[in-house]
Every structure is written in C-alpha cells, then in structure tokens.
Amino acid sequence: MRMKPLPPLNSLVAFEAAARYLSFTQAAAELNVTQGAISRQIKHLEDYLGRALFIRDKRSLILTPTGNEYYQSIEPALLSISATTSNIIQWQGEQQVTVMTTNAMASFWLLPRFSEFQAAHPEIDLRILAVDSIRGIRNSEFDIALFYCRTPPQGLDATPLFSETVFPVCSPRYLQQHPEIADPNKISHGTLLSLDISEDWVTWSDWFRQTNITPTAGTGRKLNINNYLLVIQAALNGQGLALGWSNLVDDYLASGLLVCPVDLTMKTQSQFYMLQPPQIFRQKKGVECFRKWLVSIMEEAEAKTWP
C-alpha cells in the first residue's frame, strides 16, 4: 500500500509541544527555538490541513475541536516513533545505562557512591549526563534521571527517592571570623551565598520564613551564584554562608570542611525523584540493576534513621 503524503514533520513536533503545554512560549523553550518559529510552524501546518488548530487570544491558547482530535492522534504516534528509534539506537546495548542529573547531584551524591555500584555490577557501564536544569528533560535521551522538584514532569514514571532537610553551612574559618552568626537571629549579618536559578530550590527567604527568623535589615551581604557546585565551593573557601542540603553536603560535614553554625533546619516540600521514560519496550537489564540499586540505598538510609 502506497503511503499517502505526510504533513510537514517539523510542524507536527511543534504542534505536539504547543498542544501539550497550550503555550507557544513553553513549546519553544522545550524545543530550543524561538516563539516565532513555533508560531510559523503551526501556521504552516494549519495551511497544509486547511483547518485552524488553535484559538488564539492575548491571554490563552485553546485547541479547536479539530486541533484536539489531531493532538490525540499525533501525540501517541510521535511517542511511539521516539521510543522505537531510541530502542534501535540505544547507547551500546543491554549493559549500558545513561543517567541524567544535575551537576550538584552528580558531584555530591552519585559519584561518591559510584564505586559501590561498580563493585556490585562490574559488567554495567554508567554514562552520566550532567545538566543545570530539569527543563527540556522530555526532549532528552536517558534511561534514568535524578532531579529535585516539587512536581515531577508529566509523561515520566516518577519514584520518590528522598525529601530534603536544609540548613546553613559555612567553613570553620568563616565561623571563627564571624562568631555572631552562631546566633540564629544574626545569621543575616553574614554574607549569604544564594543560588540564583529559577527552579524549585529553597532560597534564603524561604529558610528565614520557615524558621520564623526575621533578617536584620541593612546587615550582611548577598552573593548570587547560578550553580550549586560554586555555591558550596564559595562556602568551602570561607566566603560566606550557604544553604546545605543534607544528602548533598553530609560528606563535607562529616569531614569537618563545613560546619552548621546554628541548629535550625527546614524540611522541604519538594523531593528528589528517580524519573524514567514510559516503558513501551522491555527495559534493559542494566537499567533495572541500577534502579534496584538506587532503591536499596534509599531503603538502607530509611532503616538507619528509623527510631
């Protein structure tokens, strides 16, 4: 049977993303193109079909009945194509596992434990993709992703790993030079090392609010940094106070390179999640081994903290 003419494939991809988000802006961010490019692709597809797919106004984007029906057919078809292609060209076969996570999670949590996994599973090769943001994760190729977020991205299988406790940390030298910060009400007198990203990470304002501390106006300074690795490095260098995440800075606390100047913590509402694409095909053996290993680490940690 001869295949009938297909619509422009780039336009289909743009339409699927725009229909899923009901936003040209968010679709453009996921596909790493401009909003104008998405708009042009949608117009091209509408001209090809001879039907309007969206109702546009200044405040919202709504699918037309035709657009909604088309999306219901296009979305699973594109997912199937993506999964089939990924299955064919997956990175070096059954024993290869691609893990996507942030630079901080990779450096502070995953890599220090990698030797343990390698000793238990020497036949499995791990490939780590370190990124700075969870944005665009649906457009990436990975077997397992480890990310901190309030709500897991739609369309991915999510397994909670652990919630987080957040508290101020600094170097022993910085605490010695600024003994006043041992008073919780004077924490704001120090230099606050702030993570400057638009994600779900806790800010100093969140921590002050949750611990019922009012920062003293006109005291201290703030240093904004857009990478958590650099935030902790600045704290290690004695440049100020950082917000430490228990599972990420525990090793530094145990070694004495970082200390907690005050005994005040806050529990986050978000969590670290293990994320996986939906399993259309049989899961690779290496992925299943890595997944079970992660779950076992979490179970052991919970057993140790259980009263």
The full DSSP string for 191-246 is EEEEE--SSSPPPHHHHHHHTT--PPTT-SEEEEES-HHHHHHHHHTTS-BEEEEH
Q: What is the pLDDT of residue 305?
A: 46
Higher pLDDT, 139 or 209: 209
**282 pLDDT above the threshold of 80:** no
Q: What is the pLDDT of residue 54?
A: 94
Q: Are strands 125-131 and 144-149 parallel, antiparallel or unpaired?
A: unpaired
Q: What is the pLDDT of residue 87?
A: 64
**Taking the CA of residue 204 as centre, how many other CA atoms within 13 Å lie in the half-sphere pointing to its CB?**
24
Which pTM was predicted?
A: 0.64
Domains and CATH numbers, the chain: 9-89 (1.10.10.10), 96-160+271-305 (3.40.190.10), 164-269 (3.40.190.10)
Per-residue pLDDT of 246-279, as tens digits, reads: 888 999 999 999 999 999 998 887 788 899 887 6
pLDDT band at 90 (very low <50, low <70, confident <90, very high): low
* Percent of the chain whose pLDDT exceeds 70: 89
Is residue 152 a contact partner of residue 275, using CB atoms and an 8 Å limit? yes
pLDDT band at 1 (very low <50, low <70, confident <90, very high): low
**303 pLDDT above the threshold of 60:** no
Distance separating alpha carbons of residues 15 and 67, to the nearest angstrom: 9
Closest CA to 261 of 164, 137, 174, 159: 174
Is residue 170 a contact partner of residue 241, using CB atoms and an 8 Å limit? yes
Contacts of 273 (CB under 8 A, 6+ apart): 146, 147, 148, 149, 152, 158, 159, 160, 161
Distance separating alpha carbons of residues 131 and 107, to the nearest angstrom: 12
Q: What is the pLDDT of residue 141?
A: 80
The label of the residue with tokens 């899961």 reads 283
Q: What is the pLDDT of residue 218?
A: 63
Q: What is the pLDDT of residue 53?
A: 94
Instruction: Find residue 194's DSSP bridge partners.
Output: 224
Q: What is the pLDDT of residue 135?
A: 77
Q: What is the pLDDT of residue 236?
A: 96
Q: What is the pLDDT of residue 306?
A: 39
The full length of the chain comes to 307
Distance separating alpha carbons of residues 292 and 306, to the nearest angstrom: 21
Higher pLDDT, 206 or 217: 206
